[in-house]
Structure 1
């Protein structure tokens, strides 16, 4: 068995690796478990289909296009249809979808039990018919012919790598020996809202600020370094596709997925898309790349009333400001950068020239706009469950009619079920042209060939454990944390905190209504800071309070109006005000949404609050480095924060905050101070 050959030097960019198409006759590393090697003229090839000869799809000297065309001719219709599904896959003892089950440690073995859901896996609402969300691994590979999987489990690097190798060995032993590709949601960000389908949350990978924090850094070079580091970590454990990142805009401040966006400005989000795609994929897809799936086309940030289309009451995307085209700017950048895949959202356009049907069904949006006008040639990957769970605008169609409509719209890869029976029946019935299936399979095959998976899908398990989350990677992430923090107000130069100041520092998370669970108070210094932490506010010269508001979980939505006031989002306002009344106070707020803070800050009228800072998923150490002057703040706000709840309820869903007019903003987009005493807001500020 040959070693993986995926692990590179710590900061070798994917773009620096020679593309597959230029490798000519240079022998690549071949990783095998069961396929024999054939030697011809001193070169070696894998005999994946075990016929004793080198077929074109096994010949790494040929282009991805040539190899894909050949392999397509060898696949049965059943294999092709299974190839068009991407399903959640589970390690042994992974009970992510089975709340209340007794939990044993997750291992690198396969989970062989089918998971058949009778409720929507996200919303827990009843479904008219059961839907298979995940099949036992061996069954999925050998009977359903699946080769695309989503991994949700959060385990060690070695466990993930061991499992990935076992999966690839199973695929290699079956049929044509087509390797698997494993996708995941983000795994490198600090977030308070980790959930299936959005973010895995804190993992063993290097821990970076949330996506809003990456935006707030205003440092494109560091964003590229982040993407390249994350690429190396993902590839090391066998994750070769990212269900990320969100090109959606944060124009509707109530939307519960703003934390996964890069803010409200389309042009800036587009620049970030460029760095992310090139950092993960390189200039072109190659054997060191992690392929990205940019979402949610054509932008999901303008949901009516801030509601989300995982639910029927959030199915409408509205454009009262006529800004539909503004949503496309980050996607244009991602397409130009070469993103491998794009994912349409569940929502339907309510007041545009387009038919009011969910985007996965909307040929005018998917085929005419995305394919023809924007020139996207990659994979169109449905979001999870538009056929069975969120078929907005197509509720009256049968399951097979829904498959027909989405195939004709342009969907290539379906997420949400492991069972190909209904899609296969749709194709066999003659309802759709089988050429649509062939075109989809070709797109999917080309991605795999370019990623080098046919040559070597295996990883070095020990090397993965050493590489993932290493100190050098985390040092870069720590720098990003500090650059992501925004200083918004600094009355009387209260910051940085003076040496020998007695500081009471309290951090709050979801302390709704004065709940009994106490906040975390920092009372030990360990010599890192020139201040003294004290145990009570009465002992302090300055009080620092870090509040992390917590909205209702996305998947706990009930359709009721969404508010951004602190008291509506798990903050004990009376308690915060009582702290601020005792001593001069520094207020830090973690902005997962553009919170309204007038209940504690007013319009800057609470004179006991001397400083205000914004965080976007970071660490206490990073915040303390800013507070004590070990790091000079440089971050800029990625969105506008409304001055009042009334302003929130009156704004237009598709209009960025900097265009909402006078009287809307408390803190402006791109606003941010440094300790030079000068507002360093860039000239690009709106």
Structure 2
């Protein structure tokens, strides 16, 4: 810069309500300006003037004017401070703000807690019948039993504080919203939260995270997926994978990004880069399947769709999970529980798990979440990943060169400290800080982390490094300039007609045709069809579930009320395994009879008429109890779904939409095969004869 050794006169005016305009004069040496900019990796871009004025959103902060530019006076001191100056590199802004924060500010900044709307009883029994509103739930710290270990422990899992207390006393600025409400209400609540944060001494905005909200899923639960929401509804993650369409996957992510950003949700606790190598695992439905190379491609498109090439003011930052892959739990058990804490690698394929994470890092994922598991049979210490120096520091930071945020899963300190059970809470925090965790999920109360800093003063440097990383994310997202959203526009953007139409295509492309005996499909015109959607509780009773009749949609076939009237039976089975959070450590099975399907009822239907079996695969179910390839009988076709609609299924079987989907995993030929497979080995690498339906299998018309 030619003026590097010259003095710049920076003139700016700050307008105050009911007070005369004040002009402030600052002298800043060109050398100092250059030093600030050169500290930033993108100096050349930053130095290319002029800057573009961003839109500023304020509720209580006054506006500082500097020539033609405007800035928010977030700390209300009447001066333009470096962290308020959007022209400066994010690193310089973060360092300036970090120096202004108290220890309490910094410690609170390292916690991400669930938060609630008024009358939202997500974590406890309803205390009133009043409707949920966008007001804050102002109860104090919500405690309770640990849903994972069923023990009453001193610090509960997934607690939440009253919102005002969380912001003003605990200094929290990271929140997880689990409530399922309208787009407008979500936006209203988000704006209230941001206004509260802006009113605090430093005016630091909040970031609001959520689990997935755009998928049809059989296993919606706190901590995994919000389920059916106001947002556009797409296939489950397995269904997105089954489409074999990376362009449409990218389009999905971009549409979801627009919906999330419109409502103030700017951080996704998603997606799972874990591999579905263990078919019994209760979280298979949240994966993109068993093939690491394909999952890596899916992760790339998902991250680019949500975040863009780099984080910016229109991005939703993603937290890729669960490093280094959680799909190889011993016996399929999950590490939310003591009986599932071991992740095993009998096939020696830990490196295979890493491929999707490498892709996510290359695509720029903002954060990575380690799982609760402790590795068995590897070179790494047998301690949970959040405490595992070899896995986090040596592998993730050094070998894979991940520079972003390491976000613990919910509760590894208080609830799931596998391998660190003998350590005190203070010692656990200390170890996790030393390993490199930057954001702790699951508690709203910073007292224990503060205690740790007092016990280990050198850890303050680690806290400050974490806060710096977290601030960089917020600056990149533009939250310091404008964290607010247009509440009315949110309703117009979320699930609009264009988004619905694209989701409808995806729902159809996600369906896989596996068998089509005697070319029964597509069904011929005027065929009489009995269509039953079969979904039972865990203790099924005899009789039909939902009998479908297409009243609002004209199909070339005729729907009838009983199997006896039909030419063809279309039976859509929706097996349901034991809920993840109802796990009791008992062995996991994949046969239909063990997963809420009354096999005798299905056999009786098959005996009556030619039947098309549609099966919703939230796991790789074993179907040998009702389908034998050596003796197909009346089973004339098999269709796989992964979270879709009756209309999409009917479009496939009637030929309105040709099936193009491919299986995202292999399905075991028998229960015995499922029990003998190796947890870390994908089905297509298991010995010959393992699979009934193979990975990447799928027919068309």
TM-score bracket, normalised by the shorter chain, equals over 0.9
Which of 671, 674, 677 is matched with 1:648 structurally? 674
Q: Which residue of 2 aligns with 1:263?
A: 289
Residue 21 of structure 1 deviates from its aligned partner by: 9.4
- 1:583 matched to 2:609: yes
> Which position in structure 2 is the counterpart of 1:504?
530
Deviations 1:2-57 (A, max 9, x none): xxxxxxxxxxxxxxxxx999785211100000000010112110000000010000
Note the alpha carbon deviations across 1:129-166, whole angstroms, 9 max, x for none.
55671110000000000000000000000000000000
Query: 1:329 deviation in Å?
Result: 0.2
Q: Are the counterparts in 2 of residues 296 and 344 from structure 1 also a CA contact under 8 Å?
A: yes
Mapped contact 1:426–1:432 kept (Cα < 8 A): no
How far off its partner does 1:508 sit?
A: 0.7
Aligned twin of 1:437: 463
Given that 1:84 and 1:440 are in contact with CA atoms closer than 8 Å, whether structure 2 keeps it comes out as: yes
Pick the aligned partner of 1:250 from 255, 276, 281: 276
In 1, the alpha carbon distance for the partners of 2:487 and 2:149 equals: 36
Paired residues of 2:158 and 2:411 also in contact (CA < 8 A): no
Please state how far the C-alpha of 1:531 moved relative to its aligned partner: 0.2
Aligned equivalent of 1:223: 249
Query: What per-residue deviation string (whole Å, max 9, x for no partner) do you get for residues 85-114 of structure 1?
Result: 000000000000003544321100000102
Match of 2:558 among 532, 540, 552: 532
Residue correspondence of structure 1 range 422-501 to structure 2 within 5 A:
422-430=448-456, 432-501=458-527
Residue pairs, 1:270-669, within 5 angstroms: 270-430=296-456, 432-510=458-536, 514-515=540-541, 518-526=544-552, 528-669=554-695
Distance 1:575 1:55 in 2: 72
- Residues 1:143 and 1:562: Cα distance change in structure 2 (over 3 Å): same
Please say if residues 147 and 157 of structure 2, whose CA atoms lie closer than 8 Å, have aligned partners that are also in contact.
no
Is 2:190 the partner of 1:177? Answer: no
1:81 aligns with 2:107: yes
Q: Which runs of 5+ in 2 are unaligned?
A: 1-44
1:672 matched to 2:701? The reply is no
Deviation at 1:121, TM superposition (A): 4.0
Q: CA deviation at 1:602?
A: 2.2
> 2 CA distance for matches of 1:239 and 1:264?
30
* 1:527, distance to aligned residue in structure 2 (A): 5.1
Among 217, 220, 228, the alignment partner of 1:191 is 217
Give the whole-Å Cα distance in 2 for the aligned partners of 1:434 and 1:597: 56
The alpha-carbon deviation at position 434 of structure 1 amounts to 1.5
RMSD over aligned Cα atoms: 1.4
Deviation at 1:188, TM superposition (A): 0.1
Whether the aligned pair in 2 keeps the contact of 1:565 and 1:599 (CA below 8 Å) is: yes
Instruction: Name structure 1 gaps, 5 residues minimum.
Output: 1-18, 676-686
Q: If the length of structure 1 is used for normalisation, what is the TM-score?
A: 0.94
For residue 555 of structure 1, report the CA deviation from its aligned partner: 0.5
Q: Provide closer, same or farther for how the CA distance between residues 615 and 21 of structure 1 changes in structure 2, counting only shifts above 3 A.
A: farther
Q: CA deviation at 1:122?
A: 4.1
The residue number in structure 2 matching 1:51 is 77
| 1:65 alignment counterpart | 91
Q: Contact 1:45/1:58 (CA < 8 Å) preserved in 2?
A: yes
**Residue number in structure 2 paired with 1:5:** none
Structure 2 CA distance for partners of 1:132 and 1:525, relative to 1, 3 Å: closer
TM-score (norm 2): 0.92
Partner Cα separation in structure 2 for residue 423 and residue 433 of structure 1: 10
355-364 or 92-101: which moved more?
92-101
Aligned equivalent of 2:187: 161
Partners of 1:665 and 1:600 lie apart in 2 by 16
Does structure 1 conserve the Cα–Cα contact (< 8 Å) formed by 2:111 and 2:443? yes
- 2:119 and 2:128 in contact (8 A); partners too: no
For the structure 1 residues 496 and 21, does the alpha-carbon distance in structure 2 shift closer, same or farther, using more than 3 Å as the test?
A: farther
CA shift, 1:517, in A, is 7.1
Pair 1:39-2:39 in alignment: no
Q: Tell me the secondary structure at the aligned position of residue 187 of structure 2.
A: helix
- Indicate the structure (1 or 2) with the bigger Cα radius of gyration: 2
- 1:359–1:206 distance in 2 versus 1, CA, 3 Å: same
Aligned partners of 2:114 and 2:158 also within 8 Å: no
